Structure 1
Amino acid sequence: MYAVIKTGGKQYRVTPGEKLKVEKLAGEVGSDVVIDQVLMVADGDNVTVGAPVVAGASVKATVVSHGRHDKVMIFKMRRRKHYRKTQGHRQDYTEIQIQQIAAK
């Protein structure tokens, strides 16, 4: 069984027991999070696709940790103009573990 969920403006294919890093969510480490934006649920040959979300479906997950991704360097330069600009960015994330997928 798997589902396609939407969180943080991105879509993820999840299965029970899987760990993944998503955009930062509110919640303490060890707390449960319910994601109700489920776009698709598949259980063997039984596939349910939402329009845009599946009614009554939800995914329960546990917050494992919070952190920050590796630094991404942004470098801008104009040749022959003596213009150089360097900037770094680190995106926050929340690591979650999928507990169960509930569908009607």
Structure 2
Amino acid sequence: MRPEVQEFVAAGPLPDWDADEEEIGRRADQLEAVCAPVTAAEAQALATCFGPDDCYGIAWSLVHVIETGPGPVPAMAPPGPGATDWHRTLWDRWGNRSG
């Protein structure tokens, strides 16, 4: 996994709308450093980084980066009752299609 992806993943889930501008800017910069396309392993790791809301659009940018991977996120289970909106979004957009 490339260092820029590792750095983004190590920072944890995206913050919510209550985060300060510095934190939101830092996460946006980290994501912009990830050059597309991503590998399947990188896509799966990045899929763990969604926060509780769209983080001023950064979550949608994360979806688009994940979608540059070679196929559906590996080992992505169908969304269950406790799934986040982002899990459902990824599943709806590409998680349920065959690679």
With normalisation by structure 2, the TM-score equals 0.20
More strand by share: 1
Greater helix proportion: 2
Higher RCO (Cα < 8 Å, 6 or more apart) = 1
